[in-house]
Structure 1
Amino acid sequence: MPKVASQLPDELGYSLLARRADLQAAHWYVESSLSTIDAAKAAFYPDINLMAFLQQDALHLSDLFRHSAQQMGVTAGLTLPIFDSGRLNANLDIAKAESNLSIASYNKAVVEAVNDVARAASQVQTLAEKNQHQAQIERDALRVVGLAQARFNAGIIAGSLR
């Protein structure tokens, strides 16, 4: 009979479990969703477009500091999300909901992975026990054949033993 490794590691920690591809993918999905929340929060901050400052009325460097060029630059280059708060809040809520969903999916994947490992460990243990039992049956059968051969050789039993 082939030898079966009946010894499992003493500890099957999360660091070993986290190597599974499904858990790594779920982990990256959670990280992505958390980054989306950060991006949705960043949308609430004012946005300054430096190119808009330079592209407005100040076509020449000397015109850059004229009063009208500066006003146009501020108007075109500064975006305040004052009037978009409803849309921004909705985007943030969506990002949070998607993050909660990704975290729940990750937790489900962890539970399934733990169940898979527990099931596999149980199967390994069961197979090791069956292997030991089968090895004992084989030893007993060889002992019976040996005893029968000894009896045959001693003339106690007649017939042919193969």
Structure 2
Amino acid sequence: MADVVYAVVPVLAVVLAGLFAGLFFAFSVAVMPGLARTGDRVMVEAMQRINVAILNPFFAVVFIGAPVAALAQTVLYAAAGAPGAAAAAGGASAAQAVVLAVTFAVNVPRNNALEAAGPADRLAEPAAVRSAFEGVWVRWNHVRTLVSLVALVCAAAALALF
């Protein structure tokens, strides 16, 4: 049984870290640049709908699973007496903790404010709503993308070092 755990958990940590990074990457290179080319109401409405649609079980597995799997990978490698692999996995855990902190400190409050503004077709000043949301959200999503990539590299390095 232990062999299965040592085989599955680290691979799961890498796969989930890749999905975690890929989600933010997709927003950085496709979703937000695409929405930047739209009108204010379209952008606000699209992000409001994305923010609702993304709250699904698949997203939850990745968003919660990646940090948990990285922590499990760290614990497994530390318990196995593999300090290099444990340190690399710890780097993945730390990076994913940073991503969660940024998400809850910056991106989620912006999402909530966007929702609280009301339906896009009823906004008196959609440009102001967009302006309060877009620039900060996009900049910090780039940070999440880069830090998630660090987490992926660390998780893969840990797997390779074990």
TM-score relative to the length of structure 1: 0.33
If asked which structure has higher relative contact order (CA below 8 Å, sep 6+), I would say: 2
TM-score relative to the length of structure 2: 0.33
